[in-house]
Structure 1
Amino acid sequence: MQVLNAVYPPPQQAMDFFGGAEDGPFVMVNLLKFKPKAEYADGSDAHLTGAEAYARYAEDVRKLVEALGGRIRYGGQVTGLLIGEVEELWDMVALAEYPSLAAFQQMAMSPQMHAIEHHRTAGLAGQLNIRTRPGVGF
Structure 2
Amino acid sequence: MIVTNKVDISPEQMAAFFDAPEDGPFIMVNLLKFKDKAEYADGSDANLSGREAYMRYGVAVQKCITDVGARSVSSARVTGLMMGEVEDLWDIVALVEYPSLAAMEKMVTSPEYQEISVHRKAGLAGQLNIKAKSTGG
Confirm or deny a common fold (TM above 0.5).
yes
Q: 1:104-138, CA deviations, whole angstroms, 9 ceiling, x for partnerless residues?
A: 0001000001110100000000000001112x163
Match of 2:33 in 1: 33
Structure 1: any 5+ residue segments left out of the alignment?
none
Q: 1:6-44, CA deviations, whole angstroms, 9 ceiling, x for partnerless residues?
A: 001222111110110101111100000000000001111
Match of 2:13 in 1: 13
- Output the amino acid matched with 1:123: G
* Cα offset, 1:66, TM superposition: 1.1
* Cα offset, 1:45, TM superposition: 0.7
Q: Check if 1:47 corresponds to 2:32.
A: no
- Quick one: distance in 1 between partners of 2:62 and 2:40? 21
Alignment of 1:1-138 (within 5 A): 1-134=1-134, 136=135, 138=137
- Quick one: distance in 2 between partners of 1:61 and 1:124? 15
- Quick one: distance in 2 between partners of 1:137 and 1:64? 27
- Quick one: distance in 1 between partners of 2:72 and 2:109? 19
Q: 1:72-131, CA deviations, whole angstroms, 9 ceiling, x for partnerless residues?
A: 001111000001000000011000011110010001000001110100000000000001
- Specify the SS of the correspondent of 1:96: strand
Percentage of pairs with the same residue: 58
Q: 1:25-74, CA deviations, whole angstroms, 9 ceiling, x for partnerless residues?
A: 11100000000000001111111100010000011111111121111001
- Output the amino acid matched with 2:33: K
- Structure 1 runs of 4+ aligned residues shifted over 6 Å read none
- Specify the SS of the correspondent of 2:74: strand
